[in-house]
Structure 1
Amino acid sequence: MSHELFFSDATRLAELIRTREVSPVEVMQAHLDRIEAVDPQVNAIVTVVDDALEAAKAAERAVLKGEPLGVLHGVPFTAKDSIDTAGVLTQRGSPIFKGRQPDTDATSVARMKQAGAILLAKTNLPEFSYWIESDNLLSGRSNNPWDLERTPGGSSGGESAAIAAGMSPIGLGTDLAISVRGPAAQTGITSMKATHGRVPMTGIWPRVPRRFWHVGPMARSVRDIALAFSQLAGPDGRDAFATSTVGFDAGIGRQPYCPLRVGWMTGPGFGPVDPEVVATVRAAAEALKDIGMEVEHVGIPALERDFALDVFNKLHVMEMKSAFAEATAGRREDELYTMAKTMRSLPDTSMKDFIEAEQAAERLRDGYAEYFAQYDALITHVLPIPAHRHGVEQFIIDGQTVDATYLQGATVPLNVTGLPGVSMRFGTSKEGLPINVQIVGAWQAESTILHIASLLESISKVRTLRPAL
């Protein structure tokens, strides 16, 4: 029963608890035992909440008394260690913030708790949430449960590894350029970066450049992502970007046939992509075509004119550099990890380049607007390769040599434009590693992309695969 509990999705666990088939205490203990068993190898967890079991006992009493229950009542959840948690360490992956304990929860954490979920643990990340591997001087390096010699990604890599390994059923990550969707792809789980402003960033650091930052759910099923998003979305009166009040319908229960128009692409405009990944994207597109959707191979000219990764780099460096400089003022070099040092040393973007990049970002938004005037969704890759080995700085992808930042080629356009995207597994590499696809929607079209993701999930032959830990 324990194995069934720690590999059940959050929706199933909530059902079992609500119907009294299992208790919140059993569920919590199963996940605590799983952490004890496998986290020494994976190193995804940085802090286990001291009173998690006591909170589960309180949740059990509420069930037995017949009290009103939230949709996630008694279900454990985890959160990336850049997201504030009241009375629980939030150290941002840095010795600079060692021992930091916030007084209040981030809005996203508070909303998960309001839905009845119980905070189980905080998860690992790169220093200041800034890199594509989750490694730092404070809590060390996280490993991919599919292959411990490989990365679970960054910056929400500890979160993705914990969920993939059965240490958590659902959690929260943040995404500046890749950080929710990329780690999900490297560990074969599901995640969503919603439309910018749909979920408040209150209580999460760094908040600059806030026009690119997102917080989003990570889980093992599409229905969990939809359920979490339904609880997380909406303004909180503190994050000025979080103003959207447009309704949300996950669309999970729609009929399998739906006459949507869907395009698919892996380039140009994203950088080189491994043929195995291209084949997986094509397979997802063909699967949608087979159930009656209008599907065709497409291109978006705006992505070819303005490479989104270059645009992003010119726009965010100065703001991030300023935040890092403030946080690291007066610190010795040996107290800082790789990216903090790198960020402090980068040259400022010239005003001319900054203005040109802002104009390029507007062209990218216009280009996607033109696309979504004709199509309901876009299927792309998430990463150009499956999970890579630790510490690799250059890659040869489809015959081209690129640096590690190019792994963000297909994800960063959604941060520059604010578009929503779901990352979900649909394939397996020849080495047995997960390959995810990305379903992109128009602004505030989360219902559409979650519906498509749920259809692909029902078709997928890899949905029940688990790492052998």
Structure 2
Amino acid sequence: MNELIFKPAYQLARMIKERQVSSVEVLEAYLNQISRHNSKLNAICTLNENALETAKQADEALAKGKNWGLLHGVPITIKDNFETKGLLTTAGYEPFKNYIPTEDATTVARLRQAGAIIIGKTSPSQLAGDYQGINDIFPLVNNPWNLEYTPGGSTSGGAAALAAGFSPLELASDIGGSIRQPAHFCGLYGLKPTDRRVPTTGHIGDTTNMDFRCIRQMLVAGGLARSIEDLSLCIKIIAGADNRQPDIPPVPLDEVDEKSLDKLKIAWIDELPLYPVAREIKSAMQAARKKLADAGVNVESWIPKYDFATAWEVFYAVATYNLMFIQGTDFKNLRQQMAFLWREATEGVSELREISKVPNISLPIFMKKSLQGYFEALTQRDNLIAQMDRELEQWDVWLCPVAMTTAFTHRAKGAAVEIDGRKVPYQMANGAYVVPFNLTGHPVVVVPIGFTQDGLPIGMQIVGKRWKEMELLNIAGKLDEIIGDFRLPVSLQGSAL
């Protein structure tokens, strides 16, 4: 196996710059891995036919003493929701199956300007709207750890691609866990930045209706990687104000306030009262806490004085107001949406359906939307942001689960997920622990911390203070040295997928 394909992006950048390896060699190693395994994973949906020529130009530039930037000559992948100039961009949505943008999304442009080479696009859930890699254009995306399981969503292909060695870095997006849940399901690292830290200009799902911008809250662009260092590198490149999106403030990345491990104040929880977590996830969370305590880190059990039930309702209210104008009105799409809502309303044990009640929150808004209702939801969101800010002030970071479940077998969107013998509503099983931080906008890093008895990865969220990404990543890196458990999928450790 070519060792290049599992090296982190920051190491590849250094190796290329120092002429230890060429950009062409690195790209060809990835293309070979993709050709061997993508037919089973369906992670890459579109290859960039110009990538090899760009890699040659990168090598020629270095030979002349020219450096394109932090990622000079490093191949990466892009979630198919981000517009890529001259390269098919579909968002997994049939009306866009032939769409070739004339300009890049801002984040894509910044990565190219930093010297990155786009290998290709990765298959998402349709319009970034599901926790599985299901869309109407490309085949179902499979998890490299077990092909019968989902890699999560909506950055489905991106997570599968990184776990399988198709790319070292993925530009991803997250409006309800779309970076963090796939990181958890595939044993990767993920960063959801602070809301409005990174422009989302040119993100489809935000631009389905080309006449006006629909999504104005909670959608963020971030990264998936196989190391904390690559997440740090990514945010340094893509963050910052954008004259195409004036609500992105010119706030510089924060300076790191270095603290030794024994000076950190860390809060921890393995389960919230409303949302039961799978036993194996709780065991992994407890094992991680013990490792930290044994290393002299101060970790305290803590549940914030925070109304998670209201936060769940407000998230879906704000999300509905943001999303209802981008959903297709064709019969096929409406049928899919109604089937999802029916399953969500009827599957899973009744007491958990009563807590989840996503259709009861969203349908009345969709049927009778009002400007007053939108403003009321935004006011509630402001109050909940302030409440979470106050609660987190006393801690450096808060450790909590990513989801109620680990990766599960493929199923229809909205079908219940079984957790320790109980059937849990689909949205709650996947979203209960991630959507609160989309609502409040707090940055989150996911790190892998263990595995189930069946060999499926388990991740953990590390939640930081708003606008403190670099401090969060610094702390996450220190904790990862103690508790991190990144491994390659067993199928890649000596045999083909």
TM-score (norm 1): 0.92
Instruction: State the match for 2:136 in structure 1.
Output: 137
Question: Any conservation in 1 of the 2:271–2:282 contact (CA below 8 Å)?
Answer: no
> Structure 2: where are the runs of 5+ without partners?
207-213, 343-358, 492-496
Matched with 1:264 is: 268
CA distance in 1, matches of 2:335, 2:473: 37
> What percentage of residue pairs aligned between the two structures are identical?
34
Which amino acid letter does the alignment assign opposite residue 291 of structure 2? A
Letter in 2 for 1:374: Q
- Is the 2:144–2:489 contact (alpha carbons within 8 Å) kept by the matching residues of 1? no
Give how far 1:118 is off: 0.4
CA displacement 1:334-369 (0-9 Å, x = unmatched): 477834975899623265875664454234223211
Contact 1:268 1:303 in 2 (8 A): no
Determine if the alignment matches structure 1 residue 347 to structure 2 residue 363: yes
Q: Which residue is 1:77 aligned to?
A: 76
| Offset of residue 3 of structure 1 | 2.0
**Aligned residue number for residue 101 of structure 1:** 100
Partner of residue 240 from structure 2, selected from 220, 228, 234: 234
Q: 2:278 maps to what in 1?
A: 274
Measured in 2, the distance between the counterparts of 1:301 and 1:46 equals 44
Q: Among 390, 393, 396, which residue is 2:418 paired with?
A: 396
1:381-410 CA distance string (max 9 Å, x none): 112111000016112335643211011111
Q: Residues 307-326 of structure 1: matches in 2 within 5 Å?
A: 307-324=310-327
Task: Report the CA distance shift for 1:339/1:60 in structure 2 as closer, same or farther (over 3 A).
Answer: farther
Whether the 8 Å contact between 1:131 and 1:339 is mirrored in structure 2 is no
SS of 1:348 mapped into structure 2: helix
Cα distance change, pair 358–236 in 1 and its aligned pair in 2 (3 A) = closer
SS of residue in 2 equivalent to 1:302: coil
* Residues 403 and 429 (structure 1), Cα distance of their counterparts in 2 relative to 1, 3 Å cut: same
Q: CA deviation at 1:81?
A: 0.7
Q: Which residue of structure 2 aligns with residue 368 of structure 1?
A: 388
1:405 and 2:427 aligned: yes
Aligned-partner Cα distance in 2 for 1:63–1:400: 58
Residue 203 of structure 2: aligned partner? 204
The question of whether the paired residues in 2 share the 8 Å contact of 1:83 and 1:90 is answered with yes
The aligned amino acid for 1:273 is V
For 2:274 and 2:471, locate their aligned partners in 1 and report how far apart those are by CA, in whole Å.
23
TM-score for the superposition, normalised by structure 2? 0.87
For residues 440 and 88 of structure 1, what CA distance do their matches in structure 2 show? 35
Alpha-carbon offset, residue 256 of structure 1:
5.5
Separation in 1, partners of 2:466, 2:92: 32
Distance in 1 between residues matched to 2:306 and 2:111, nearest whole Å: 38
- 1:461, CA displacement in angstroms? 6.0
**What value does the CA root-mean-square deviation take over the aligned residues?**
2.3
Runs of 5+ consecutive residues of structure 1 not aligned to the other structure: none
Matched, 1:385 2:405: yes
Give, in whole Å, the separation in 2 of the partners of 1:465 and 1:159: 15
- String of CA shifts for 1:237-282, please: whole Å, max 9, x gaps: 222331141333578xx67635111101134266111121122223
User: How far is the alpha carbon of 1:92 from its aligned partner?
Assistant: 1.2
Q: 1:242 to 1:343 in 2, by over 3 A?
A: farther
Once the two structures are superposed, residues 287-316 of structure 1 have per-residue CA deviations (whole angstroms, 9 ceiling, x without a partner) of 333333321000112134x34322211222
Moved more, 310-319 or 395-404: 395-404
- In 2: Cα distance, 1:457 partner to 1:463 partner: 9
Question: Partner residue of 2:440?
Answer: 417
Secondary structure (helix, strand or coil) at the match of 1:143 reads coil
Amino acid at match of 1:160: A
Distance 1:282 1:460, change over 3 A: same
Letter in structure 1 aligned against 2:299: V
